[in-house]
Amino acid sequence: MTELHEGERGRAARFECRHGFAREDDHEIKLPGGVLLREPGFRVRAAVLDHGIPCLAFALEESRHISVRKEALAALGLRTGRWLKGLKLAVLDEAPDDTLIPLEDGQSMPLGRLREAIIDQEPGRKLAYVVDARFTPENQARIIELARGADELYIESAFSAADAEQAARKLHLTGEQAAWLARQAGAKRLIPVHCSPRYKDKPGDPVAEALRAFAGTLAS
């Protein structure tokens, strides 16, 4: 288990069933940039937000988006399968073109030929997720930095602007505040979430409010 603290610090420890879930190997760790997980194709970052208690917001960032052209795959007489995972990892690792990629039939092909024939690469996508945060300058700065340039920002729109005082008491965001944060972060798409159930049967839908304030971005 890993804890993220402020100041890009954290603690890690093990809790194993066979040892009665006793805390083991407890030690402090550094988490530069708030990076919790780094894999060849993506990383996960987090930021600590104030909700009366510490809460985490997350960003999932792809390094590159890799897809396989199915028609080209069939033209080579190849089928989809688990071997494609190894191919994608080799592309992400920028392995040499003469690296042999095992196929499902026991044969192999050079990475360079496969990459040229069947692989498409695009800039990686970024998704950000923010809930349970009060609208303070400190939270604003952390949310904007975490979500900067996000392709999709899932962010709470708990209350309408008319209920901003209630939102402040409950330590949540309004739809307009969520839209403002999304615009400041340069997010491409806003998906409002975590709306208070109080609006189910009354006017002032904060989701619609957030979308209007974000220049008509649509959620699905």
* pLDDT tens-digit series, residues 147-162: 999 999 999 999 999 9
pLDDT of 184 reads 95
Whole-model pTM over 0.75: yes
Q: Mean pLDDT, to the nearest integer, of 54-59?
A: 95
Which tens digit of pLDDT belongs to each residue from 164-220? 999 999 999 999 999 999 999 999 999 999 998 888 877 678 998 999 999 755 444
Q: Closest Cα partner for 195 from 154, 165, 142?
A: 154
- Could you tell me which residues come within 8 angstroms of residue 53 by beta carbon, excluding any fewer than 6 positions away? none
The region of weakest confidence among 35-39, 84-88, 112-116, 138-142 is 35-39
Distance of alpha carbon 63 from alpha carbon 99, whole angstroms? 21
Which tens digit of pLDDT belongs to each residue from 93-146? 889 999 999 998 888 999 999 999 999 998 899 999 999 999 999 999 999 999
Side-by-side strand order, sheet with 35-38? 35-38, 42-50, 54-62, 126-130, 152-156, 190-193
pLDDT of 177 reads 96
Looking at residue 50, its amino acid is D
- Could you tell me which residues come within 8 angstroms of residue 217 by beta carbon, excluding any fewer than 6 positions away? 189, 190, 211
